[in-house]
Structure 1
Amino acid sequence: MSVSSTVDSSEASNYLKDQYLDLTRRIEKPKNILPEIIPKIRIEESEGIHVGNVIYNIHHHSPKSELDESPRTSISSTKFEDPTKLNKCMTPKSYWILSIVITIILIAIAVSVSVYFVLLNDKQPNTDSTDPGSTTTTSNPEDTTSTTGNDFEALISTREQWGAIEMDTANMSVMSLPIKRIIIAHTRGASCATENHCTSTIRSIQTQDPSLDDIPYNYLIGGDGRIYEGRGMEFQGQHTQNLDATEYNSIGICIAFIGHYESKSPSSTQISLLTRFIDYYKDKGLIADDYIIVLQDDLKYFSTKATALNAEIAKLDKFRPLYKIYRREEWNAQRRKNSPSIFETRPMNWVVIGHTVSALCSNLEVCKASGRNLQNTSFAKPWSDILYNVFFGGDGYAFEGRGFDYWGSHHSGLNDKSIGVGVIGTFDNVAPKQAILDAMQQVFDDAVALGKLSKDYKIFGRSDFGGPGPGTAFMNVIKGWCHYGNKTGTC
């Protein structure tokens, strides 16, 4: 329905009131619309008003000749039978407000979704098949096409980048370069799958043991596809030292995989990062061409239970398995009576062999007990510890005595110049079992690989220096070895 009229501007308000009263008799009027609103309408600004489902359009206009005629105002109304057409009554200002509200709602939804996926990514576990990428890194850790240049350097987080406490180098020993040995370990804690999580984990490792000078490792590999600088290439770590015996911190760098890898293997990305890291620093001359990879579990007196990790490392070409040496703690050795004297120069050039002049030991436990008896005998005399640096018994068991870094008491005048070796038993008439001879050779080879013995070391019996032992039968065997000291030439 439509109603229209034309009135003077000055009479518009009264006219609208009259129109409203007339309209209320002819249309369905909502009860909540009051007549008082009509006089308040500003004719020059209003475009339309609602009364129920009726729209009143008010138009202010002037005739062609403004000098002859006063401005006029048109009022028209339209009744919409279809309520959906009421959106036509929205003014431009209403559309503008509505668009702002919709925009704000969309932004809020987008932010909420982004936060959700960030939190979900932080909770992702480190799996064997997939490594989540770093939340802040654009480099692709699976890209193994190059190991030089900025593409690989971008995967190494410096101490500053992961927020390390400043390193106090006053008491640290400098590493000998190039690196010849790489020791593989794991942190034995929680793994990490994002850069934020890994940096937080490493900061905790740095401060968890106040007795250490700094984080114990030289480098760490995270589940986020990144490598983190610990002590770096310059300084020795504090990762592998046994009680009063052999330390392996000085023989090479230790790279630790962040996490506990007893049953869970590291991902292919992590193993790839290790090999790329080695190749990268080998190209820079910081890692020797003839480097070897060894396991921390083969060096420590206790197993760190890195079974799954060790199995993966054993597949690498440069991996070297080490012969099992039972460390002092494993055969329940007592602490030495006084501070040991450390070899001034290493690697050592001589090995001096003797026998214990005692009964043979038949199995591992009996051999451990024999070692304790030997130590107690030494304590009863003016010696501070068991006489030998390393000793052997049974079916090829090897035991750590004073270790490869400290003076023994195996022969006067040679203790500071040689590694003292003892074999449990008496070998005047019969030589040791072949298993013992084989074990000795493997331990000597490992000592060379680990930098404890020189490549061209010489072996002697105590009898070569006028002392007793190692027994006539045993001495005859030693004379046949290529490293025997009185032989000419090299092995």
Structure 2
Amino acid sequence: MSLSCAFTTLVLAIHVYLAIGCPQLYGVQAPYLLYSRENWGAAPASDIHPLKTPVPYVIIHHTYLPAACNSTQQCKAAMKSMQNYHNSLDWGDIGYHFCVGSEGGAYEGRGWHNLGIHAGPVNNYSIGICLIGDWRVEQPPREMLETTKSLINTGILNGAISPTYELKGHSQIMATECPGTALLDIISKWDHYSEEQFVINKKDNVGEVWNLVMMVLLKFMMCTNILAVAVGAPALFRKDTDDNEVLTYDFPFVTRAQWSARTAKQKLSLQTPIPYVVIHHSYTPPACYDGPTCKKAMRSMQNFHMDDRGWWDIGYNFAVGADGAAYEGRGWDVLGAHALHFNNVSIGICLVGDWSNSLPPTSQLKTAQALIAAGVELGYLKEDYKLVGHRQVRDTECPGDVLFNEIQTWDHYAPFPASADDLPEVEELKKI
């Protein structure tokens, strides 16, 4: 390096130092435990691609499901659950780079230098950090938030995150409620939060040099602030003084391809936004509590509808399993075959199982409601949609007495039509 180049770099470093001020802005702000993949019992990854670092974006997520974990044991179980689910989607590993539990622990996912699958078009340019739990209404605990901030600072020190990174919520990248309204409101007040639209700009050489100098300087200033990384135990950090697309939902969602659906014989478009949601139960097949069983149930229903009833496809637009996952049937904009004389004005959602005498699991009910909310957000359902049970538009016991009583407590439930006899008076049907 020439003398003039060295001098220029030194001047640049001094300017960076003055701009940064106190090194604690980028230093680890609070001690936290980092549990490695080995610590939480991760299965080996089957699909690993390098991530070009430092990345310009940090994307914040919540899980929605699994629920918040308040102990190390619960959080390790949540990590295994997420990895198993993401593997079932053929992602090759858990999608996130790191997750954070309510107890303040950080859990290694794909780590700092492997490409994640968490935010569609931004995967190649971002680190994805997921706060385990549903943070739409409730606020995450203080320990969880502080660990998230410190984790980001660690990424800067490690050279994985650009010191000039932008912080965004998942919903700013894709059509989703993630990371939840309450959490998004909190991170909007953090340093580096940006409301600007996501844009990828190729950095020139000056930009690369700028990031390099900043990182070298930051590592020099903060090198004494990292105490140790314990081998074979959670690491304790403290201070002294090919794009992979992801689904647009923040709840488990299984596409037709993933449950091995047959090709539909024919399709008709459904005019959106749709004014009604009709809730069903399958009666048979019975409730399914894991992915393989629910996928088998979907294939069983499709075979019955196509082979025995002669329909073009599975009748429902969507189904929801007792495993808490939503399963794509005909989808949002394809005419269903689930409520005779009412298909043209409705989306049919089936809760797999017989809910005549028992209530579906909380996760199944929660996902059904989240699916409906997503339909509104994506513009497929009217904001003032009406929710009815199948028995209100057809002479049937579906969706079962207990489930029918449950949906009467949901938002947008409509007591009219009360039976199929009322269909001639339904305004939306008169317009067809």
Give TM class, smaller chain: 0.3 to 0.5
**Higher Cα radius of gyration:** 1
TM-score by length of 1: 0.39
